[in-house]
Chain A
Amino acid sequence: MSTPERQLAVSGVTMRFAGLVALDDVSLSLKRGEVLGVIGPNGSGKSTLVNVISGVLAPTSGTVVIDGHDVTAVAPPIISRHGVARSFQTVRLFRRLSVRDNVAGVVRKAKRPVDQIVDEWLERLGILHLADRLAGDLAYGLQRRVEIARALATGPGYLLLDEPAAGLNDTESADLERVIRSIAEDRELDCGVLIIDHDMRLITSLCDRLQVLFNGKTIAEGIPSDVRNDPAVVEAYLGTRPSPAKG
């Protein structure tokens, strides 16, 4: 390969569990600086997709390529070193460590003192004042922010967010939207964001592109306004009329 493309490319991934097809020939690509949304009802295979990309699950067939490196079925730590960071659907913080140590613990290389780097991430996510609290003691919405700060501290090129807005109220959700947008637009970070959700609202206002999964298959993709009105999506996924997007 001459110049490896700077993108995360999933092609033809199929994931079969005993008898059940969770993903059926799914492909997607995510460029740096782009926000891609993957939506679909519960059980449509969204989380399985994140688990395949991050190396938790080895796909039955298909490939995952990051910046030109084939990382299909490679162990999670190595995928992380290729620049993929993720959050979890059910927040998984290091509960008995302080917020600060949650972030400091995953910093790999540091050109500047690690304390400074950690403080900057906490500041950016608006949780610096909570730095010395135990992560497990925080309210749910704040835990989500710690999780994003922690993922960013690994210096990712691609950030995978698994239902980041689940369990958040409207204000928290709006704050989160701002944070995610600022990450995607930050040239210095040069990071693509993949958001998985079943809730259309956050995702349509935030994403550059949308991809809809249903029963493990991609049934539509494109810019949010098109996808939202796609008859197949309306019928298969929503069942009812989509709620109008905010902003």
Chain B
Amino acid sequence: MTVELLVQQLINALSLGSIYALLALGLAVVYSVLGLLNFAYGEIITIAGYCMFFLVSGGMDFWYAAIFGVIAAIATSLLIQLVAFRPLRGAPANAVIFASFAVSIIIKALISNVISPRPRGIPVPSWVDGVIQLGSFRLPILALITIAIAVVAMVALTWALHYSTPGLAIRAAAEDFTVTRLMGAPAGRLILLAFVLSGILAGIAGVLWIARTGSVSPAMGFTPLLQSFIAIVLGGLGNLRGAVIGGFALAFIEVALQVLLPTAVVPFTAALTLVAVVVILYFRPQGFSKLAQERVA
């Protein structure tokens, strides 16, 4: 493999990893506050996608539409909290999990019935698909944009988590998962804030994801949900830094498998990635996190 190719794959992995990291952060923020995974998380991205689809079809510029996509994501995240999580505070975890799964099913069914069960394309501006030629290196513009946006978002998030009071509260909840759990149910405002943050992160990641795939479909939310889940498990649960590490780790595993595997096996990359993750978890049940000191069995 030439240096050029290696750099290209590295950028590819970094940009995919940026999306995964943002996605994982969005899932992890709510998880760290509530101790529950939001099974309707993928649908936040779906709704953002369809919002963009209609705006872009109506003639709006892709990146303006993206702003509305993020707003739609925040609204969806809040709606999920209002419908599935808030009425069920204190209920058994199974009930809440299933409620969020039900919301996911309802959103998918509504889109299939009202709009269409088939995928729809979103035209992405053509310059985005271009490359910058830098000496012998070909740098895809979209990948660079993705990395830049993700870095800005993560720096902003880090700043907010360190220098604002609600941010500090969320960080306390995330960093010291067990202790916060032991101290009882978190305040309603903290939960609300976590869902807003989750919506913003999912929205930004969703826009980048859609720019990459160029289409929307009712079931499009599932892959982002699964990838962000794998990322937070890989990174060690209830720990925001771990979510970012896990996101990048997952992207590197995926890209490496795509490059190294024979072409005949490429359709099974997703399955093999999962196998790789299970193998890692077998040897390191706590993921890449070294924080977990409390053991059960």
Contacts and interface: CB of A to CB of B under 8 A. Distances in A.
B297 A75 contact: yes
A17 B290 CA distance: 12
Contacts of A57: 293-294
B30 to A, nearest CB: 25
B294 A56 contact: yes
B7 to A, nearest CB: 38
Contacts of A17: 293
A120 to B, nearest CB: 29
B242 to A, nearest CB: 15
B241 to A, nearest CB: 14
A55 B296 CA distance: 9
Interface in B252-297: 293-297
Q: Do most interface residues of chain B lie in helix, strand or loop, or is the interface mixed? A: loop
Contacts of B182: 90
B130 to A, nearest CB: 47
A77 B297 CA distance: 7
A78 to B, nearest CB: 9
Contacts of B293: 17, 57-58
A162 to B, nearest CB: 14
A55 B293 CA distance: 11
Contacts of A56: 294-295
Interface in A50-68: 55-58
Contacts of A77: 297
B132 to A, nearest CB: 43
A135 B12 CA distance: 55
A57 B295 CA distance: 7
A76 interface: yes
A77 B295 CA distance: 11
Nearest to B296: A76
Interface in A72-119: 75-77, 90
A53 to B, nearest CB: 14
B239 to A, nearest CB: 13
B95 to A, nearest CB: 14
Nearest to A15: B293
A58 B297 CA distance: 13
A84 to B, nearest CB: 15
A126 B293 CA distance: 37
A77 B182 CA distance: 22
A57 B182 CA distance: 16
A17 B292 CA distance: 11
Interface in A12-68: 17, 55-58
A219 to B, nearest CB: 26
Contacts of A75: 295, 297
A240 B251 CA distance: 61
Contacts of A90: 182
Interface string B54-84: 0000000000000000000000000000000
Contacts of A55: 295
A42 to B, nearest CB: 15
Contacts of B297: 75-77
A77 B294 CA distance: 14
A58 B182 CA distance: 20
Nearest to B293: A57
Contacts of A58: 293, 295
A96 to B, nearest CB: 9
B294 to A, nearest CB: 6
A90 B295 CA distance: 18
Given A57-B293, A75-B297, A76-B297, 12 more contacts: A17-B293, A55-B295, A56-B294, A56-B295, A57-B294, A58-B293, A58-B295, A75-B295, A76-B295, A76-B296, A77-B297, A90-B182
Interface of B: 182, 293-297
Interface of A: 17, 55-58, 75-77, 90
15 contacts: A17-B293, A55-B295, A56-B294, A56-B295, A57-B293, A57-B294, A58-B293, A58-B295, A75-B295, A75-B297, A76-B295, A76-B296, A76-B297, A77-B297, A90-B182
The 10 closest A-B pairs by CB, nearest first: A75-B297, A77-B297, A57-B293, A56-B294, A75-B295, A56-B295, A76-B297, A57-B294, A76-B296, A76-B295
